[in-house]
Amino acid sequence: MTSRIMTVLLVWFSFIFLSSAKEISVMAYNVHNYFVVPETEKPKGDDSKKALMGMIKNSNPDILFVVELGGEKSLADLMENLKKAGCKDYVFSDEMTGEDESRHIGLISKFRPVKVEKKENLYYKIKPKDRQDGYPEKVFVQRGFLHAVFEFENNYRLHVVGAHLKSRLPHPRYIQTDMRRYEARLLRYLVNQIQENEPEANILVVGDFNDVYSSDPMITLRAPEKSPENRLYDLRPVDRNGMAWTHWWHSEDIYGRIDYAMASSSLLPEIKFEKTQVVHLPEYWMFASDHRPVLVTISTENARPLGKETIDKDFPDGVCASYKTTDKKKNLAANGNPETLPVLFFDTGGYSIELPAERKKEIFEQVARNKADIFVFTGIKDAKAMDEIMDRLNGCVFKEMVEGADRESHIAVFAKIKPEKFEAMTDVKYKIEDKELPVSRGFAHAVFNVKGYKFHLLAADLKDRQQHPEYNQTDMRRYEARQLRYLVNDISKAEPGSNILVVGNLNDTCGKSPMKELYNRRSGIEKRLFDIRPLDPMNTSWTCWNSATDDYERIDYALASFSMISEIARDRTCVIYSDDWKKASVHRPFIVNLYCTDSDKPLKENLDKTYPYCIYSGEAAHFEEDMEIGDKPERNGPVDPVDE
């Protein structure tokens, strides 16, 4: 009788816990302050919730790990909204928090885990930043770690470990980078414990880790010093266009990768890479959150481990090397039309006649995607390179180059219409620490008159972000931007109400001081420059990929004067995208189309709405800065130095 009861119980538990799914998907998503009343005075808006449900429903993940969730009431609200959206198969939900009492970690699943472990009391010791010679203090992990174990048929076990590491916001007492590094170390210790207890464990570590892949916290997690079977491997999912970014920092217009999925070596052969991706829905993502979710698909059958040669080839430095796109459809920008004048800008990243033929081919394929009439190129090595480009641009009747102090990189302007005037401004100088320096690459100034419509085109390539042996490179760029602003002022004084278009690689993000110099927000509206901010077909604005950090930044700009802003054809102004953009340059070109007719000047209230802070917003949702409400530097006071 007893044995019969035990058999029934075993069958019953197997029915509850063991799943017959042959393939499962795990989504990690920062849902951006999913709070409800009364847990907060600023609940997540209904429109944002609807967009969030659209993002989740589109992928229909089997296991959903979320961060920036409120408490139990917020989790219940999220579950209710998922059901209303048609996601009715979730049978398990739980949440936890660490020291940050406002932002919790949540787990939602279509399968009941056999084990859930909440690491909410982990701590490390760190010295206050203002007392580096003092005693270390005990600091608890801000949001804790959540460890869930799932079991499937064929004895397949999956460990899912979720985390939300310390943000990059400054902490009042400790250095935030050190806090994140210590949290990553404790997370790595948890992975080590799992591997010690279960040497061939299938481990998936997911979450918002708030740092770039080359940072100390990420290297700590990957643990390249360990043997290959004990390392974690960065899966680096990409979207359908090959982009890996997961977070949009709107105040700087930077698209960065700070959300991760890392797998143990035992799990790697079961990853379905063709179904592992960063989820992007242009109509939803920016309204749902400032993050994009990461989706990992796994086969629930133990596969033969990958060999060392395969791992070394596919995961150099522990990071997936597959940068291929998953959608071969070309997203082409719209061509110009007779009613508009297309102006194209492209930083070629160093064009010379010695450039490989394949790269030249890709550069001109991108240029040919739009029938521009005026072309501005930066990164041109010399006059021979300019002549070669001229030969490849059909129909151009004008070419000029600005040969500044930097002899290796120049600005070149090409056009199918001759300008009334062209100035190669190479003698512009500024003072820094009482020494006079030239603007490194000068400025180009061309005046065009198209059937009575007159406009000034200014082109620049400001100081790059490489360190200078004597001066601060940011200050140098700011002074160069100021000289460019003076040039705009001179034109405006000589011709009040003039139409001015500024294009170029300005080598900084929109929130930094060089750009603030150019926007000139403190002046009257008629004296400002407005950031046109072209968008690509995915509603993103980045123009340059930083391979060192895996960030996608907007450092190439088109700025228009108040008099000209109404003459920008927004529906024909865009960043040009192609699947093979990296083969041409780390920069992407953009095109601005102009209605060559003087229009009525916009009303201030309309400009404030469309160009908040002088920057085109499009349909972007501008999120509030992430404030860590629950930061508590100490729970039990200072720790004695002998306390272990």
- Here the CATH number for the domain that contains residue 583 is 3.60.10.10
Cα 562 to Cα 525: distance, rounded to the nearest angstrom: 7
pLDDT of residue 624: 47
pLDDT of residue 598: 85
Sign of CA dihedral 240, 245, 247, 252: negative
In a domain, 12, yes or no: no
Pair (524, 579) in one structural domain: yes
CA R_g for the chain: 28
Pair (39, 97) in one structural domain: yes
In a domain, 112, yes or no: yes
Pair (311, 411) in one structural domain: no
pLDDT of residue 630: 38
Low-confidence ranges of the chain (pLDDT < 70): 1-20, 322-338, 618-644
Tokens of 242: 């090959």
Cα 176 to Cα 187: distance, rounded to the nearest angstrom: 17
Pair (345, 309) in one structural domain: no
> Taking Cα atoms as reference points, which of 314, 382, 399, 324 lies closest to residue 348?
382
The residues with which 503 forms a beta bridge, in sequence order, are: 459, 558
3-class secondary-structure state, position 40: coil
Pair (263, 385) in one structural domain: no
Taking only the tens place, the pLDDT of each residue in 331-360 is: 333 444 447 999 999 999 999 999 999 999
Find all residues with CB under 8 Å of 393, minimum gap 6, and list them.
367, 375, 414
Tokens of 535: 């968008």
pLDDT of residue 99: 87
Helix H segments across 21-110? 46-59, 72-84
Pair (359, 217) in one structural domain: no
Contact between 432 and 468 (Cβ < 8 Å)? no
pLDDT of residue 17: 52
Pair (240, 357) in one structural domain: no
* H or E segment and range at residue 590: strand 590-595
Taking only the tens place, the pLDDT of each residue in 562-603 is: 999 999 998 899 999 887 888 899 999 999 999 999 888 887
Pair (224, 259) in one structural domain: yes
Q: Largest Cα–Cα distance of the chain, in whole Å?
A: 102
In a domain, 9, yes or no: no
3-class secondary-structure state, position 86: coil
Pair (161, 192) in one structural domain: yes
Pair (297, 428) in one structural domain: no
In a domain, 335, yes or no: no
pLDDT of residue 623: 46
For the chain, what is the domain count? 2
In a domain, 303, yes or no: yes
Tokens of 451: 């059937």
- Tokens 């004695």 — which residue? 640
Contact between 499 and 564 (Cβ < 8 Å)? yes
Pair (265, 350) in one structural domain: no
Pair (289, 378) in one structural domain: no
DSSP 205-218: EEEE--S-TTSHHH
In a domain, 266, yes or no: yes
In a domain, 636, yes or no: no
- Angle between helix 72-84 and helix 46-59 axes, rounded to 10 deg: 60
Among the three residues 264, 286, 318, which one is the final residue of a domain in this structure?
A: 318
> Taking Cα atoms as reference points, which of 312, 315, 317, 271 lies closest to residue 295?
271
Whole-structure pTM over 0.85, yes or no?
A: no
Which pairing describes strands 203-208 and 156-164: parallel, antiparallel, or unpaired?
parallel
Tokens of 382: 């010399």
Which pairing describes strands 421-425 and 374-380: parallel, antiparallel, or unpaired?
unpaired
Residues of the domain holding 431: 341-614
CB atoms within 10 A of CB 431: 9
DSSP 8-state class, residue 615: B
In a domain, 327, yes or no: no
